[in-house]
Structure 1
Amino acid sequence: MIRKRDLRVLSVVDSPKGRQELADELNYREDTVSGALSDLARRDLIDKERKGNRVIAKPGDARCVEVYQSLTRSNPHIDFPDLLTPSLLNILYYLSSDEAWTATELTEHTGHARATIYRGLRTLTNRAIAVKQHSRYRLTEEFNELHVFAYELQHHTHRVRIKQDLEGGTIVWESHEEFLVRTETAIELPDYHRTGLDAFAEHGLQFFTTSEQYYFYSPERESLTPEDLFCHLLLIENDSRHRKYALLLAVKTDLSPERLQTVADDYGITEIVEPLLEFLETDGKKSSEATPRWEEFETLADEYGVEL
């Protein structure tokens, strides 16, 4: 969560400035500015350097900083630090000018109470930042940068967490609170769950793997389901080899097609998973370019001791 005071300071750190200069510009106490600069530096949103006995702050190179400062420059009449509460930033992560959402859909995706969603949407529509059409909401083109900022801020937050926890890694997939990361570092932190082909061993499927490892970060989940592992493998690499291994897992763990469909929707890969489900449900009679030949799959299943 980024604080209101931090956003105020970030809006005026558009060039190298000292603490006293920032305090005078914002009418803040110098210790308040100092605290904000520390928080912003911890988030890699600004850079600090010492010149003599002065601390100089300058904007970081994260894209969310560039977008936010562009917003504040272009719309000096809007108090963005007051507007951008944590719940509204969560709404804006999804809401854009390109795609319309219902309040129900935003409630499901953000996890906020319906009243919170309606309050946020009312704030946006009252300020002509968003419009409502037939129970669906979207941002106006003029303010689509709010969506870009909310998205880029969360992406940056994930990257900073990976840097702090793993000393390096690549994000393969992400949502507002969760992400799938590729790394060469073994992780033993509670919110990171092993996934990818290495995790298939927990279900009796042992494959040859490379030094790259995959983990799914989630502060809410205690473990991953086989449906999660199926989808993660296709997010990691949607090629013929990985699709066949995902199909093996589906048979080995007797995955529910309905449950797998729901999880695939959550990860945004419904179109990838549907032909694989149809392939299994028809014993290969309904195939596509995305599926192997049934005889080929039978041979692979026999090799790994999976009964079809």
Structure 2
Amino acid sequence: MLEENELRIMATLDSPKKRRALAAELGYEPGTITNAVVHLEKLGLVTRERVGNETIIHPTSAKCLEVYQDLTATNPHVDFPELLTSSMLRVLYYLHADEPVSAAELAQRTDVSRATVYRTLKTLTNRAIAVKQGTRYRLTEQFSGLHKFAVELRHQHHRMQVQTDIGSGTLLWESYDEFIVRTDEVVDDSQYLLTGLDAYNEYGLQFFTRSGNYYFYSESRESLSPADLVCHLLLIENDARHRKYAMLLITATNTSHEDVREVATSYGVEDIISPLLTYLRTEGEQSSAQTPPWSEMESLARDYEVEI
């Protein structure tokens, strides 16, 4: 996503600088700076200003830029531009300082081969950037900012993609490659899959409450399962009404509770989903503060002709 020369520019650009001065400081040809800056500008990390015969390059207020410059300033002995390859950034997106994770889990989450994950982790442990605890790994506290940088950089990429593709929108959930966005626009793009309450129409559940349009962006997926839509709805709004609608879809589509649990884990909403599934399985006998009286679910199901 970022080339080594672009990362070096990001580290150096702590204030507006002339293109030629920046080239001299980094030992690059002015043309190399121009090419790199064009890409950084598309990512919303820099802006360019023409003053006479000179181009002034300005850093933006993007959070990932601030995090990266802090990392490079506090750890001058680490060559971050050489370290932060595309596969490294993918691993760092899911590698925390406070939550150890296994290589197998990283391979699954990143969609990177296990061999590449192991090589990446070996690089990090050899440089004392990460530590191994049994079969699990975590970043050291000193380098916890690497995870934050990877997350903020990907967030910036998603923000700019929404701006380019749609014009405006609010990101509600993100992974490295996918995101959910709320927008006032109607999007006609195969990579933006309709989600939220509007997507329930496909299963005969038509709701008339609207609060914008919701889309799930993915380059690899062609459709969303009922379990996906359940989780998306709870990410959009986890209130009493939306929880009832989520449970109604599970019942209407006869979706396996185990499938819902598995998908919920991938979206990070397993703690929200678990009491809802227990409530449905026990027909309301095991309720919680997050579930309605069973009579309300029965009434809602009758309204939509769903057998509960």
Distance in 2 between residues matched to 1:144 and 1:8, nearest whole Å: 20
Indicate conservation of the 8 Å contact 1:43/1:157, yes or no: yes
Tell me the number of residue pairs that the alignment of Structure 1 and Structure 2 aligns: 308
1:199-220 deviation digits (Å, cap 9, x = unpaired) = 1001100001225111111111
Task: Give unmatched runs, 5+ long, in structure 2.
Answer: none
Distance in 2 between residues matched to 1:145 and 1:268, nearest whole Å: 22
Aligned to 1:38: 38
Distance in 1 between residues matched to 2:264 and 2:96, nearest whole Å: 23
Aligned to 2:146: 146
TM-score, normalization by structure 1: 0.98
Aligned to 1:225: 225
Aligned to 1:116: 116
Q: C-alpha displacement at 1:71, in angstroms?
A: 1.4
Distance in 2 between residues matched to 1:151 and 1:43, nearest whole Å: 14
Q: Does 1:201 align with 2:224?
A: no
Indicate conservation of the 8 Å contact 1:180/1:216, yes or no: yes
Aligned to 2:48: 48
Distance in 1 between residues matched to 2:11 and 2:170, nearest whole Å: 29
Aligned to 1:165: 165
1:33-84 deviation digits (Å, cap 9, x = unpaired) = 1100111011111111111121110111101001111111222221111100
Distance in 1 between residues matched to 2:294 and 2:142, nearest whole Å: 52
Task: Give unmatched runs, 5+ long, in structure 1.
Answer: none
Distance in 1 between residues matched to 2:232 and 2:175, nearest whole Å: 13
Distance in 2 between residues matched to 1:234 and 1:27, nearest whole Å: 51
Distance in 2 between residues matched to 1:2 and 1:248, nearest whole Å: 44
Aligned to 2:13: 13
Matches within 5 A, 1:1-308: 1-308=1-308
Q: Which runs of 4+ in 1 moved over 3 A?
A: none
Distance in 1 between residues matched to 2:21 and 2:262, nearest whole Å: 53
What is the one-letter code of the residue matched to 2:207?
Answer: F
Indicate conservation of the 8 Å contact 1:194/1:216, yes or no: yes
Indicate conservation of the 8 Å contact 1:121/1:130, yes or no: yes
Distance in 1 between residues matched to 2:91 and 2:258, nearest whole Å: 28
Query: Is the deviation greater in 175-184 or in 279-288?
Result: 279-288
What is the one-letter code of the residue matched to 2:121?
Answer: L
What is the one-letter code of the residue matched to 2:19?
Answer: R
What is the one-letter code of the residue matched to 2:166?
Answer: L
- Does the residue aligned with 2:101 lie in a helix, a strand or coil? coil
Distance in 1 between residues matched to 2:118 and 2:296, nearest whole Å: 52
What is the one-letter code of the residue matched to 1:210?
Answer: R
- Does the residue aligned with 2:262 lie in a helix, a strand or coil? helix
- Does the residue aligned with 2:57 lie in a helix, a strand or coil? strand
Q: C-alpha displacement at 1:240, in angstroms?
A: 0.8
Q: C-alpha displacement at 1:187, in angstroms?
A: 0.5
Q: C-alpha displacement at 1:298, in angstroms?
A: 0.9
Distance in 2 between residues matched to 1:36 and 1:162, nearest whole Å: 22
Coordinate RMSD, CA, aligned: 1.0
- Does the residue aligned with 2:284 lie in a helix, a strand or coil? coil
Distance in 2 between residues matched to 1:135 and 1:151, nearest whole Å: 24
